[in-house]
């Protein structure tokens, strides 16, 4: 084996664990696309509940993927900002989106 | 919205559906790393059962991700080969592996 397959597999499983669940990647993608406020993020992901979005954003803050900025004006403004670490995954998501579009063509439309 | 977020989300959900399950990505990674025979692939993924691997390989053949080559020598030799489409996802997996290694450093060791 040219590379350490077991180490690589562990790193891959770490990543898969991190992106686990239905909503994590759509949320990262939304925030990396410039949506900052809770309502904006919610609207960009049809089907997500407020409760799920709230839970995910808290987890992502703990994992240093998202920074929560509170501006104490009236009314209070809360904005979510992706960290550099999150943005680096955002680029991978963009490639996954492009791959997904191509995959649809190959599988559904029978192109190759 | 600068880009069509709903279309992108659909393509992302297609991709997530495709990589669903615990084993799909490790199998793609293994085959893209040059493992060709059932036993080689099996050995490179600790914990996978033969039944799961067999099922996944069949699904992947249907989805045009893997080509199954049968050489009718004695004994019969069966090799799995990634399609170009599969290889293009292999590159994304490699980036996910690198990201996973970095993520471990950030979250577990507290670096940033």
Q: In chain A, what are the domain boundaries?
A: 5-108
Q: Which B positions 43-72 lie with beta carbon below 8 A of chain A?
A: 44-46, 63-64
Structural contact between residues B69 and B81, judged by C-beta atoms closer than 8 angstroms: yes
Instruction: Give the pLDDT band of residue A38 (cuts 50, 70, 90).
Output: very high
In this predicted model, what pLDDT tens digit does every residue of B49-75 receive, in sequence order? 999 999 999 999 988 899 999 999 888
Spatial distance between the Cα atoms of B58 and B61, rounded to a whole number of angstroms:
5
Q: What fold, for A5-108?
A: Arc Repressor Mutant, subunit A (1.10.10)
Partner residue facing A99 (CB), from B25, B92, B112: B92
Q: Does B33 touch chain A (CB under 8 A)?
A: yes
Asked if pLDDT for residue A3 goes beyond 60, the answer is no
Q: Which A positions 82-111 lie with beta carbon below 8 A of chain B?
A: 85, 88-89, 91-93, 95-104, 106-107
Contacts of A110 in chain B (CB under 8 A): none
Spatial distance between the Cα atoms of B36 and B77, rounded to a whole number of angstroms:
10
Quick one: which H or E segment has residue A69?
Answer: strand A66-71
Q: What confidence score (pLDDT) does residue A52 get? A: 96
CA distance B39 to chain A (A): 14
Q: Which of A32, A31, A49, A51 is nearest to A40 (CA)?
A: A31
Instruction: Give the pLDDT band of residue A109 (cuts 50, 70, 90).
Output: low
Residue with tokens 């680029």: A91
Q: What fold, for B22-108?
A: Arc Repressor Mutant, subunit A (1.10.10)
In this predicted model, what pLDDT tens digit does every residue of A39-65 receive, in sequence order? 999 999 999 999 999 999 999 998 889
């Amino acid at each position: 084996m040219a590379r350490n397959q077991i180490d690589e597999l562990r790193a891959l499983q770490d990543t898969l664990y991190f992106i686990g669940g239905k909503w994590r990647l759509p949320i990262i993608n939304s925030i990396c696309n410039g949506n900052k406020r809770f309502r904006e993020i919610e609207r960009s992901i049809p089907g997500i509940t407020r409760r799920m979005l709230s839970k995910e954003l808290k987890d992502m803050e703990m994992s240093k993927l998202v920074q929560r900025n509170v501006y104490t004006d009236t009314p209070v403004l809360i904005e979510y900002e992706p960290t550099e670490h999150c943005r680096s995954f955002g680029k991978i998501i963009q490639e996954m989106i492009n791959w997904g579009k191509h995959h649809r063509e190959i599988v559904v439309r029978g192109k190759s």
